[in-house]
């Protein structure tokens, strides 16, 4: 099974990836955050938005190709290439930080790879309200996230919901993080695994 876990900042993607990887004795692939453009991007977002997002796109393509060719029977991926395009790059474009010309070039490259790399067998979407996201961001205590703008998280949530409802055409399992806290209630993990096993025909 190729399972991808999607969701906004602070939704619990990495935590769920870690839990399921142990549960299935599987291999996990996490987002590569060592982007060499990150300092430039935060200094001048409109100047570096295209390069910043293109690096993530290339990194994700390479990761996905490696992941699907390594022969592991079960793999879990923390965040997907689809989110890079339909959530984050699109948001930068909408905010006026990436030009329409650059965004068009970005999406052309994304569209090419999307016909080459297979979709996940199941996409798990961790849906969470802004208050839940803020609570979890504060709980994990990363300094650079503590002043994150709530309107920014709200815009990303809107894009995630639109992507899931109207764009993504693969199989989706939605976990409502406002209700189902799989860290506090391990029985929720049992339920998630039962659904994954049923979809895999186990």
Active-site annotation, residues: 78
Q: CB-side exposure of 159: number of CA atoms within 13 Å? A: 24
State the CB neighbour count (10 A cutoff) for residue 135. Answer: 12
Q: DSSP readout, 112-166?
A: HHHTTSPPPSEEEEEE--HHHHHHHHHHHT-GGGTT--HHHHHHHHHHHHHIIII
- C-alpha triplet 123, 127, 133: angle, nearest 5°: 130
- Rounded CA gap, 79 and 77, in Å? 6
- Rounded CA gap, 98 and 56, in Å? 15
């Amino acid at each position: 099974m190729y399972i991808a876990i999607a969701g906004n900042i602070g939704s619990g993607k990495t935590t769920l990836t870690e839990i399921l990887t142990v549960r299935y004795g599987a291999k996990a692939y996490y987002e590569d955050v060592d982007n060499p453009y990150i300092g430039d991007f935060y200094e001048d977002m409109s100047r570096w938005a295209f390069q910043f997002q293109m690096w993530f796109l290339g990194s994700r393509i390479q990761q996905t190709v490696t992941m699907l060719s390594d022969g592991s029977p079960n793999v879990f991926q923390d965040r997907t290439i689809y989110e890079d395009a339909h959530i984050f790059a699109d948001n930068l474009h909408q905010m006026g930080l990436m030009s329409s010309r650059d965004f068009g070039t970005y999406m052309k490259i994304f569209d090419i790879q999307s016909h080459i790399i297979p979709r996940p067998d199941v996409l798990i979407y961790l849906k969470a309200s802004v208050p839940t996201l803020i609570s979890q961001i504060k709980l994990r205590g990363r300094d650079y996230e503590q002043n994150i703008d709530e309107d920014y998280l709200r815009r990303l949530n809107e894009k995630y919901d639109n992507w899931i409802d109207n764009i993504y055409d693969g199989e989706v399992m939605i976990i409502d993080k406002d209700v189902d806290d799989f860290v506090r209630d391990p029985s929720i993990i049992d339920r998630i695994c039962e659904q994954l096993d049923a979809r895999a025909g186990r």
